[in-house]
Structure 1
Amino acid sequence: MRNVLISGAGIGGPALACFLRRAGFTVTVVERAPGLREGGQAVDIRGVALDVVDRLGLGAEVRALRTRMRGMSVVDGTGTELVRSEETVFSSGRLDSPDVELVRDDLVSLLYKATCDDVEYVFGDSITALEQLGHGVRVEFEHGGFRTFDVVVGADGLHSTVRRLAFGPEEGFARHLGQHLAIFPAPNVLGLDNWQVWFRDGETGGAVYPVHDNAELRVTLGFASPPLAYDHRDVVAQKQIVAARLAGAGWEVPRLLSEMDSALNFYFDAMQQITMDSWTTGRVALIGDAGYCASPLSGQGTSLALVGAYVLATELARHDIAPAFAAYEERMRPFVLANQALATENPEGPAAEESVDRAKNAIILP
């Protein structure tokens, strides 16, 4: 029986683990964080990705956890409402769509619960070296010595360690999209009732929307900027960057920045895409943001991770490693390109509904 190591316990990693276990593989998931990562924005599951969720057996639970937005407003720096809609919201599209938006924490928790009984999870550790041998991949861990696996899969995000070790430095694959984004939870200090507010003030902007029955907010603050040099693990320094860039912004931004100071879960990064000629090498493969990050601007990162996990698992169950990887690359490439294009179609807002409809269904699942 082949054994697989997956780096990353976010969305793509556990989804892949679930499908591989069903196919008879032995699966280990290693995650740098001490537990499941909390926080993050609401995520979308669209088109064929909903079919993947159904095949995971999580369709009913995912749909029950969907957000219940009534609409949105767009305001300027003075708080003046510029646009109002009760039919569509920027984050998830038409409110009558069968697509599902839910909080990332909820999806991660569902995937973990679906796999934790028969998948080995190793939290608080990370991969430090990979050596591809004729019979497998020798993997060294920061805290756990070394082990050998038949296949290693990087599902470890935009700044993937597996990608760096197996393919080379991130700089060779990252494409900066001219923006930086911060995401964090906050109490519902604005009293929003299933209503999104988007704002734009010069080169800064963002969105605020309630989650979990309006008990809290998820806040997104962004600004236009060329690439910045900062430590991806230094949260204090990242918050200082955001506060400095949005100093002087209007509307409710000062209050939101104050809430950011005490936010325990905080995400900050450049809006980037990862473009690679190949997502596999030898016995190592990449899925999701590690291989083909489309950026949050596309709205399709979660769907790409879920579909990629399903396609890779299906091909590994059908073929030996080399032909499985080749089939995975061939099936996924057009789907990835169509969805990455959504991030750059409209620099001032979301891509056209017609474009999203084409992209979210641009693959036939095996």
Structure 2
Amino acid sequence: MLNKNILISGAGIAGLTLAYWLKNFGFNPTIIEQAPKLREGGYAIDFFGAGFDVAEKMKILPDLQKVDLKIQELIFVDKNNKRRGGLSVFKIGKLVNNRYFNLLRSDLSKVIYNHLDKDIEFIFGDAITQIVQTADNATVTLKSGNVRTFDLIVGADGLHSVVRSLTFGDESQFEKYYGYYASSFTIENYLQNDNAFYSYNLPGKQVSIYALKGNKLTTLFIFTSPQKISYSHHEIEKQKEILRNEYGDMAWECPSLLAKLDSAPDFYFDSVSQIRMSQWSKGRITLAGDACDCPSLLSGQGSTLAMVGAYILAGELKKAGGDYKIAFRQYENSFKPLIDDKQKLAQSFAGSLVPKSNFGIWVRNTFSNAMFSSLLSKWFVKKYMTDRIELKEY
């Protein structure tokens, strides 16, 4: 086996899944993560499709079932909390043979992490600042000043990937901004809500809430912005100010949610964007997950697709005996067509998720109420919940 020592930048879904499979296939992965520990909180994700199949291969489905949020219904309400539309999450699960969970991203990460081989090296609280490739290896300089040499490097460090920037150039070359911003945070459940996902809309703005175990309530804000907003990813107070300005005059639960914003331990704010690249690899470096194939939050499948890509990348490295030139090419050939399709699908879905007019809101609500007629439900599953890829056995 060639090139066994592999550095993975990022301890998210893609990075952890990749480490699992690389170790399983006889490689020696190391994970570096700039956060001091695994990230907490985060918004809920739909977990189904080919990612569900990868989780089954990892034998983690029983543990995922334990952290399933068990959301029963998605309910669209007006400012008086009166139901205007909705979907039965239970019925959606039935349409895909119950191979479906609602999970917090952080819970998915924890489950994968807990199934990793304990010999895998983790470097928390550090980050790559420089990469130098040679014919034989790749050397990284870390923020801490340490210098390490590996056979291969994988950037699994998200939408704002450092590995991608150091290897391929500025993010602006690859980011496709879709005109939306999203924010999420967790607070005490002052509403005592049940297992439903409640969503309130005005044209171009949506705010959603859903209950968690431990008397917690998670929020998800999505709003339109024709132009990108100028702020630093490290300016948390600036991001909170933007959110307050956008939602300060909205009714429903918005005033109460914003009043509790500063008590949230897991505030998240970012643009809704995709990363589009013609190729994902350069020399001994390749990318995985949102760093190269981000379908955007609006797709609902970023985490599951990250697991699929990680499985394929590790599998192709095993199949090629560690020959990265062959493996990286096969990884892209196998996975990129699916990603291209999913990115296009996410673009078409954005307008229906956060309608930009009162008429659009009415159409969305009406459609949701009629969703489970036989023809509509079959169309929905085929279009939005089917992954056209056959996973190889490596």
TM-score, scaled relative to structure 1: 0.94
Give how far 1:365 is off: 3.4
Structure 1 equivalent of residue 221 of structure 2: 221
Q: What's the secondary structure of 1:66's corresponding residue?
A: coil
Gaps of 5+ in 1: none
Give how far 1:63 is off: 2.2
Q: What's the secondary structure of 2:132's corresponding residue?
A: strand
Structure 2 equivalent of residue 334 of structure 1: 337
1:40 is aligned with what amino acid?
G
Cα deviation digits, residues 108-140 of structure 1 (max 9, x gap): 111112226121000000000111111011111
CA contact 2:41–2:105 (8 Å) conserved in 1: yes
Structure 2 equivalent of residue 3 of structure 1: 5
CA contact 2:196–2:210 (8 Å) conserved in 1: yes
Structure 2 equivalent of residue 255 of structure 1: 256
CA contact 1:27–1:119 (8 Å) conserved in 2: yes
**Are residues 234 and 162 of structure 1, via their aligned partners in 2, closer, same or farther at CA, if it must alter by over 3 Å?**
same
For 2:64 and 2:388, the matched residues in 1 are separated by 19
Once the two structures are superposed, the pairs formed by residues 283-362 of structure 1 within 5 Å of their partners are 283-319=284-320, 320-346=323-349, 347-349=351-353, 352-358=380-386, 360-362=387-389
For 1:330 and 1:262, the matched residues in 2 are separated by 46
Structure 1 equivalent of residue 193 of structure 2: 192
For 1:109 and 1:161, the matched residues in 2 are separated by 23
Query: Aligned Cα RMSD in Å?
Result: 2.0
Cα deviation digits, residues 309-358 of structure 1 (max 9, x gap): 00000011111110000000000011111221231223122994321233
CA contact 1:73–1:83 (8 Å) conserved in 2: yes
For these two proteins, the number of residue pairs brought into alignment is 363
For 2:313 and 2:83, the matched residues in 1 are separated by 46
Q: What's the secondary structure of 2:326's corresponding residue?
A: helix
For 2:146 and 2:238, the matched residues in 1 are separated by 32
**Are residues 217 and 95 of structure 1, via their aligned partners in 2, closer, same or farther at CA, if it must alter by over 3 Å?**
farther
**Are residues 93 and 192 of structure 1, via their aligned partners in 2, closer, same or farther at CA, if it must alter by over 3 Å?**
farther
After TM superposition, the structure 1 stretch with the greater mean CA deviation from structure 2, 321-330 or 182-191, is: 182-191
TM-score, scaled relative to structure 2: 0.88
Decide which structure has greater helix share: 2
2:26 to 15, 24, 27: 24
2:384 is aligned with what amino acid?
V
CA contact 1:275–1:291 (8 Å) conserved in 2: yes
Give how far 1:258 is off: 1.2
Aligned pair 1:364/2:391, yes or no? yes
**Are residues 258 and 272 of structure 1, via their aligned partners in 2, closer, same or farther at CA, if it must alter by over 3 Å?**
same
1:235 is aligned with what amino acid?
I
Give how far 1:88 is off: 5.8
Percent identity over paired residues: 35
Once the two structures are superposed, the pairs formed by residues 1-366 of structure 1 within 5 Å of their partners are 2-86=4-88, 97-115=98-116, 117-212=118-213, 215-225=215-225, 226-319=227-320, 320-346=323-349, 347-349=351-353, 352-358=380-386, 360-366=387-393
Gaps of 5+ in 2: 355-378
Give how far 1:250 is off: 1.0
1:217 is aligned with what amino acid?
L
For 1:316 and 1:338, the matched residues in 2 are separated by 24
Give how far 1:84 is off: 3.7
2:84 is aligned with what amino acid?
L
After TM superposition, the structure 1 stretch with the greater mean CA deviation from structure 2, 105-114 or 4-13, is: 105-114
Give how far 1:196 is off: 1.1
